[in-house]
Structure formats: structure tokens, C-alpha cells
Copies of this chain bind each other. A is one copy, B any other.
């Protein structure tokens, strides 16, 4: 029942500042009266909040006179394209990437590098990543942007509210705290304090990207309740409930890849048998598709092996088509379990799976429709909507950059005060 920040004057003011900033960020150029109307405050109540955000450099006046409404027209407000930027980083099995987005949601810098990270120790990986981070930080500094936060996407389990990768099987990492290796890399020039660091499972960040960006370019936004499935080397999922990630008690929710599909099936590295990854994980699909480990190894880099599978399937390679059909069946069975348990409005296929959707979707949807009890019992046709992410493999990196801006949006003045004059 208690709102964040409590019912203190300070807490209320902080929430109202956040509401103003979010409203302008979401609406684009907008007049002061429109902001007031949207958040249910009076124009007199909104004015000092806007002034504070202008002084902090988070809002700017566009110079264009606001139209409509009563009274003296002021200049329209927009969020600044300078000031804070969210820095997203991605550690993949065979690549690294970093990008920066501004408050307007525009990608302002982006770099990537191939990297053979499988079973490479965290130290060298983080040193290479730090180089990319320094590159991006310098690039955006030249445009008047400074890092407000850094979020790192990893293909593994991350302890809740911590920076420790508990286990990333495809990297071979266990209990790896990324904070020491990344300390200070995004500190503002001449400053000593680093920005807030968050480490997060890549599937969760893919889902956040879907929430934040899925509705752009005229596409309908995803509903507030969905399951986002993604695959790189493993298969992960994120569960979104009421627009929020469901993280689980330890932060390990979403391990769809280890849901039992055929309980007596082949043993899995996790200790179980017949897990989804044994049928729909990348190694399993490559194997079932008749690709030798050598052929697979000849296609390193993000998405290259997936693109190879897609190309072969498009060329009519029946072994690959059958392998993808079977992967879809296994995904459908596992997702039927998830849908019966969670009752989401939609299932979104993201990550590398998005590129294989034409061959995976039919069998996936068939199983899902057949096995989602609610639908069959209530006499409706069709299970929950299954959609394919437009972001695909870009989702985790973009989601990370947007997540890194969250602190600014939640508490605009605290986050954006320069480090040398702390206020609270």
C-alpha cells in the first residue's frame, strides 16, 4: 500500500517530477497544460516541476509555441537529446556489443565486436568490453551526453538485485561478480564515481525492449501480460505481468529451456532429462538439422548459425525443415505449460527464434492451441496470440540501454545531479 518514497513531501515531489518527465518522454513535444491534464495536477502545480527539470537539463523548450488550450501559449516541452544516456552492453557467446540511447530513445552510439567467449574467463571478456564501453562513452561525450547508468545483458542466471552472474553455462561462468571488472569504465570524464551498474539476464532485457519499443513504427504495443521467449545458445524466457518483469525469488525466473518436455528424453546438462533445450536449443537444432560441429563452427558471430539454418530451410532442405518443425513442437508443449500456469495475453518470439519463425511457428501454434486448457474448455478457438518480435536479436542490447535510463525516469533530480554536488 505504501507508494515508493512514502507519503512524505519529498516522496510526493519525486513522484511528480518523474511523472512530468515520463509524460513528456512518452508524448513527444507537448504543452505544459497538456502535461498537467495528463498527470492530474493543476497548471500551477506543474510549473515548478517543469522549471526544475528544465534547470537540470532533462527537459528543453522546443521554441515552438504550444497551440490549443486556454491562456498564454508557452513553448512546447521535449526531453533533452543531451544530458543523460543509458548505456547497454551485451555479452554473447561469440560477440560483445555496447550502445547508448538518449532520453528520446534514440540510439546515439553503437559498437560491436566478435569474441570467442565460450569458456573464456570473465577477466579478459570484461577488459575487451571495457574498451568498447570507453569508445561509446567518448563518442557520446562529444555530443553532450553522459552515461546515467550501465546495464549488462548476459546469457545466464543473475542474482536478484546484484551484479553477480550465478551461472552462465554457455560462457562457463559461475558466481562471477562483474562489478570489479567494470568499475569506473563509464565514469564521467574527470569524475571518480561510476554510474549505477545492473547485470541482467538477456531474455529479461529482450522483454523490456519489447515493452518499450515493440509498439513503435506503427506496430501495436505488446499487451502488459506476455511471455517473451528468446534463444541464443540456450533458450530463455521472460514473464511480464502488468508491464513488470516477474523475476522470481532469487531472480532466476524464466528458465523455460529446462522445462521438461518429454520427461524420459535425453539427459540435459542441468541434471534433468528431456528439457526443452534438448529439442529446441541451438545445438540440438543444428544436430537434428544435419549440420556437423565443423559446419556450425564455420559460422561464428551473432545470428550466423541461425541465418544458415534459415537459408537452408528456405532452400527446402527437408532435414532442416523437419528439425525446425520438431523444435516448434517442443516449444509449443513447453509454452502450453507456461500459458496454463500464467494465462498471458500473448507469447512473443524474440532473439534468434524470430528469424526462424516461418518454420517454427506452425507446429508451435498447433501444440499451444491444442494444450491450453482454458481455450478448449471455454470453447474458444485459438490460444493466446503468438507474435514475432521485430527487434529479434537486437532486443537484449536495446533493452539494456533503455533499462539503464530507468533510474533517471524514476528519480530525475537525484540521478542527474552532477556527481560533485550530491543532493538527496
14 A–B pairs (Cβ distance < 8 Å), ordered by A? A3-B3, A6-B40, A223-B249, A241-B241, A241-B246, A249-B344, A249-B345, A254-B343, A258-B371, A259-B341, A270-B376, A271-B377, A275-B371, A334-B337
Chain B nearest CB, measured from A376 CB (Å):
3
- The reply to whether B1 and A7 contact each other, CB–CB distance below 8 Å, is no
Chain B residues near A370 (CB, 8 Å)? Answer: 271-273
Interface segment out of the listed A70-78, A129-137, A260-268, A352-360: A260-268
Complex partner residue of A378 from B167, B248, B269, B272, CB under 8 angstroms: B167
Is A378 a contact partner of B166 (Cβ separation < 8 A)?
Answer: yes
Which residue of B has the minimal Cβ distance to A334? B337
Docked-complex contact B376 and A239, CB < 8 angstroms:
no
- Contact indicator per residue, chain A 1-25, by CB within 8 Å of chain B (1) or not (0): 1111011000010011011000000
CA distance A334 to B341 in the complex (A): 10
Q: Is the CB of B40 within 8 A of A15?
A: no
Known: A167-B378, A371-B272, A377-B167. A256 touches B18 (CB 8 A): no
- Residues A339-381 near B (CB distance < 8 A): 340-345, 367, 370-379
Inter-chain CA distance A248–B223, complex, in Å, is 12
Q: Which of A260-290 contact B (CB under 8 A)?
A: 260-263, 268-273, 275
- Copies of this chain present in the complex amount to 2
The reply to whether the CB of A255 lies closer than 8 angstroms to some CB of chain B is yes
The answer, yes or no, to whether A237 is at the interface (CB within 8 Å) is yes
A374 touches B255 (CB 8 A): yes
State the CA gap A252–B223 with chains docked (Å).
16
In Å, the complex CA distance between A167 and B376 comes to: 11
Closest Cβ of chain B: how far from A176's Cβ, in Å? 12
Given A1-B4, A260-B336, A272-B373, 11 other A-B residues pairs in contact with their CB atoms under 8 A: A7-B7, A7-B16, A166-B378, A167-B374, A174-B379, A252-B374, A253-B342, A255-B340, A255-B343, A259-B341, A261-B263
